[in-house]
Copies of this chain bind each other. A is one copy, B any other.
Amino acid sequence: MSVGAAAGASGEQGLKAERVADQAKSRRRSTKAEQRAETMEQILDEAENLFSKHGLHGVTLKDVAKRVGVHHTLLNYYFADKKTLFDAVFARRAVVTSTRRMEALDVYDRATAGKPTIEGALHAFLDTDLDLYIHGGEGWKNYGALSAQVANTPEWGAEMMDSHFDPVVLRLIDLLKKAMPDCAAEDIFWGYHFVTGALMVTLARTGRIDKLSGGICRSEDFEAIKARMAAFMAAGFRQICSAKSV
């Protein structure tokens, strides 16, 4: 479950479809199980790449197949249909980031012996995630952009986020409640709402902040986010909670 594991076969940026096809051919010399795993992973990688850029409806199975260098019906063989493929793409890394953050929160909770700080909890939650995108390679970056889209998709976005992230998020909120025992649950939830919104635009990496700031800030610069976000949000929490409890 290392970062590299799920990032796996995704050193693909400059590869043309043909080259990928060649690789597919030469890869044939492996066992069936390996073949299956590798092909599926390649499909997931390319689908992730395209979905992250054009969305579910903006990508055709043929587009994905072409990039992988296989016939497009093979995608139906491995994944029942397009939406199933999309779900698989999302789930693959969602479970990784979800469990990692859960662990980080548990560790932090134990380390502080049940006396967490707002900032500490947020750091555990955010940094663990951001590190994945910083060190996980192209695949994780694509997944991040995909998440941002999913989180803002009214149709099935909330459902999809819920099913993967509710446990971690509730764990975070649990810690925040401990850190702010006098704060109304309502305020904590709205605070989390702001946090997740800020995180999602970050992951979207649309490049908007680059132009807006005239190059001072860069969308890709997750380190800058890491350095600021937890402190920023913690101050926000303190503010809206103190307004009522004091």
Q: CB within 8 Å of B: which residues of A?
A: 52-58, 145, 148-149, 151-155, 157-158, 161-162, 166, 169-170, 185-187, 189-194, 196-202, 204-209, 211-213, 216-217, 224-225, 228-229, 231-240, 243
Contacts and interface: CB of A to CB of B under 8 A. Distances in A.
A193 B202 contact: yes
A190 B229 CA distance: 9
Nearest to A243: B231
Copies in the complex: 2
Given A53-B154, A54-B57, A149-B149, 6 more contacts: A55-B58, A149-B153, A158-B208, A197-B200, A231-B243, A235-B236
Given A57-B55, A189-B209, A190-B224, A199 B197 contact: yes
Contacts of A229: 194
A148 B189 CA distance: 20
Contacts of A228: 187, 190-191, 240
Specify the main secondary structure of chain A where it touches its partner.
helix
Nearest to A209: B193
A152 B152 contact: yes
A166 B212 contact: yes
Contacts of A236: 231-233, 235-236
